Amino acid sequence: MSRIGKQELKIQAGTTVSVADDVVTVKGKLGTLTRRISPLVSVTVDGDIVKVVPSNQSRLALALWGTFSSHIKNMLQGVNEPFIKTLVVEGVGFKVALNGKTLNLKVGYSHDINFEVPEGITVEVEKNNIKISGIDKEEVGQFAAVVRSSKKPEPYKGKGIRYGDELVRRKQGKRAAA
């Protein structure tokens, strides 16, 4: 049994949830999110509560029960307040710039790395901090992961791109002979 799937999801004031043809639509003050749901899971809306129930007791249906419950919970949260990921760029000569909808990174390679900012995501650059925000948790997390993967932090000096709350374990490096 899914502990997450059993939980009832409360709809905040000003948010509407509708289910039609295996598609859940959540509308809030920041925008609208839609997601196709599996036929192994059924979603019902009772007043201000959303319930997710497995259609049968198969192993896959029970696995998807909690998954779709989490997806809908994230949708309900995202349309009311945006999800935010912060990236920190550390390194001598490493620079970040935002040119329109293009994120430009100079992170120690012979060439610049450019990322097109996806629709529905907002990027703000302040010195060497990148703030990525949006209403879809998956899109925000995926874009942050793609940007971070361009130059992961290395363990000796900590140079690279890391999440704001990420702790980079440092190695000691070579020692001089005594």
Structural domains in the chain plus CATH codes: 3-78 (3.90.930.12), 83-163 (3.90.930.12)
Give the separation between CA 119 and CA 86, rounded to whole angstroms.
18
Give CB contacts under 8 A, 24+ apart, made by 151-155: 151/91, 151/94, 151/105, 151/107, 151/108, 151/109, 151/113, 153/90
Q: Counting Cβ atoms within 10 Å, is residue 3 exposed (0-12), middle (13-18) or buried (19+)?
A: exposed
pLDDT digits (tens, 9 = 90+) for 19-60: 998 999 999 999 999 999 999 999 999 989 999 999 999 999
- Sign of the C-alpha dihedral, residues 38, 119, 145, 163? negative
Tokens matching residue 142: 């995926």
Which residues on adjacent β-strands are paired with residue 21? none
pLDDT at 178: 55
pLDDT bucket at 3, cuts 50 / 70 / 90:
confident
Main-chain phi, psi angles of 19, to 5 degrees: -125, 125
Q: Report residue 173's pLDDT band, with 50, 70 and 90 as the boundaries.
A: confident
Contacts of 162 (CB under 8 A, 6+ apart): 87, 88, 90, 148, 152, 153, 168
Mind listing the pLDDT tens digit for each residue in 85-96?
999 999 999 999
**pLDDT recorded at residue 10:** 94
75's torsion region: left (phi>0), alpha (psi -120 to 50) or beta? alpha
pTM higher than 0.75 for the full model?
yes
Q: Which pLDDT value is given to residue 1?
A: 60
pLDDT digits (tens, 9 = 90+) for 111-169: 999 999 999 999 999 999 999 999 999 999 999 999 999 999 999 988 999 999 988 88
At 120 the pLDDT is 92
pLDDT at 176: 63
